[in-house]
Amino acid sequence: MLRRRPPDWLTLLMPTIIVIAIIVLIPLIFSFYSSFTPYKLTRPSTLWRWVGTANYERILSDLNFWAAFGRTILFLTIALNLELLFGLGIALMVNKVTWGQRTLRTVLMFPMMFSPILVGFQFKFIFNDNVGLVNNALQSLGITDVALPWLVDSKLALFSIAFAEIWMSTSIFAILILAGLFAMPRDPLEAAKVDGCTPWQSFRHITLPFLMPFIFIAMTIRSLDVARAYDIVQIMTGGGPARRTELVWTLMARTGYVDARMGIANAMGYVSILLSIFFTIYFFRKLSAARAELGL
């Protein structure tokens, strides 16, 4: 009798499948299961009490959660769009530099090299209303004589955390767009010049369409990053005051780790993951469309 052996491809893939199962699949199943329990870290026995969809029902009717969810989308929209604008501008300028461009590219990546926690502390100090750099500078220059509450006022606080996020991550856009500019063929631009196109027309109709796939890749990566923004926000405002800067991840981390209510925190995680899935699908569709337009 012949012994049945698995196909070679499966044998070769098996180590990867096992590693992924241990690292990703088992925790995923476990956390999904626990989202149907009142699991509390300090009371391990609660892991075995099934409460059905109670956690999800509670989240769906919790205004604080939906406010944090909406604020996360707003934060993501602001951060992504401004990072794109600044990143595009920086990349176009760096592309024009003929001397010291390599050094400039390295310098450009400095903000990415810092830990988000350190960036959070840095901007928390910079925006401190009493001893912070920004207020001291504004007051010394005579621009204002009041202490602007950068980390307290609802609009200023969102601006402050967005500023820190953008400062740290704009270079991701800049580097990816710069890579696109390097890969861009020169012929269409020269042909456009000969045909009498203005610089704006060349940019709008030739450069930008060519850069769009690069932009959408950067958008996808950053949307996943920003949708789980935690470190900087937690350090700078902790989601406050009065939940004015509460994002999904600060709420979830506090519920799970400080309050030890891991069951409901996991349920929040599964609801908020929809956000990441939506943005990923949206940007990949855009990416495919942009590539199709280029005939790729």
Partner 1 sequence: MSYLKAVALSTVAVLATGASAQDYGSFSGVTVEAKLIGGEQYEGLYGRIADWEAATGAKVDIISKKSHFEIDKEIKSDMAAGTTSWCVGSNHSSFAAQYEGLYMDLKGHVPEDELAGFVGANVSASMVDGALVMLPRAQFDVSVMYYLKSNYEDAEKAAAFKAEYGYDLAPPTTWDQVKDQAIFFSDPPNFYGTQYAGKDEAIVGRFYELVVAEGGLYVDEDFKPVFNSEAGQRALQWFVDLYQAQAVPAGTLSYVWDELGQGFASGTVALNLDWPGWAGFFNDPTSSKVAGNVGLIVQPKGSVAHTGWSGHHGFSVTNKCPSPDAAVSLVRFLTGEESQLAESSGGSLPTRSAVWDANIASAEGFRAEALAVFAEGATHAFPVPPIAEWAESTNLVFPELQAAIVGDKTIKQALDDAADAVDELMREAGYY
Q: Which spans of this chain sit near partner 1 (rule: CB under 8 A)?
A: 38, 41-44, 124, 128-131, 135, 139, 145-153, 236-238, 240-243, 246, 254, 257-262
Q: For residue 133, how many other CB atoms are within 10 A of its CB? A: 13
| Least gap, CB of 79 to partner 1 (angstroms) | 20
Alpha carbon 125 to its chain's center? 23
85 neighbors 166 (Cβ within 8 angstroms): no
Choice between 44 and 196, CB closer to partner 1: 44
To the nearest whole angstrom, how small is the minimum distance from the Cβ of residue 259 to partner 1?
4
Region of residue 228 (phi > 0: left; psi between -120 and 50: alpha; otherwise: beta) = alpha
CA distance 81 to 83: 5
What's the min distance (Å) between Cβ of 120 and partner 1? 12
Cα angle vertex 249, ends 233, 171, to 5°?
Answer: 55
Identity of the residue, 92 or 259, whose beta carbon is nearer to partner 1 in the bound complex: 259
Instruction: State the helix-helix crossing angle for 63-96 and 262-293, rounded to 10 degrees.
Output: 40
Pick between residue 243 and residue 286 the one whose CB is nearest to partner 1.
Answer: 243
Of the pair 199, 238, the CB lying nearest partner 1 is at 238
The token duo for 210 is 């060519």
CB of 97 to partner 1, least distance (A): 40
Considering the complex, state which of residue 58 and residue 286 has its C-beta at the smaller distance from partner 1: 58
Q: Which residue lies nearer to partner 1 by CB, 131 or 292?
A: 131
- Nearest distance from C-beta of residue 65 to partner 1, angstroms: 13
Alpha-helical regions (H) of the chain: 8-20, 26-34, 54-60, 63-96, 101-108, 110-113, 116-126, 133-140, 154-183, 187-194, 199-202, 208-227, 231-236, 248-253, 262-293
Nearer to partner 1 among residue 16 and residue 130 (C-beta): 130
Which residue, among 221, 191, 224, 225, has the nearest Cα to 205 in the 3D structure? 191
Give yes or no for a contact between 207 and 184, defined as CB atoms under 8 angstroms apart.
yes
CB of 279 to partner 1, least distance (A): 27
Both tokens assigned to 228: 């789980």
Q: How many Cβ atoms are within 10 Å of 29's Cβ, its own excluded? A: 11
Whole-number minimum distance, CB 83 to partner 1, in Å? 25
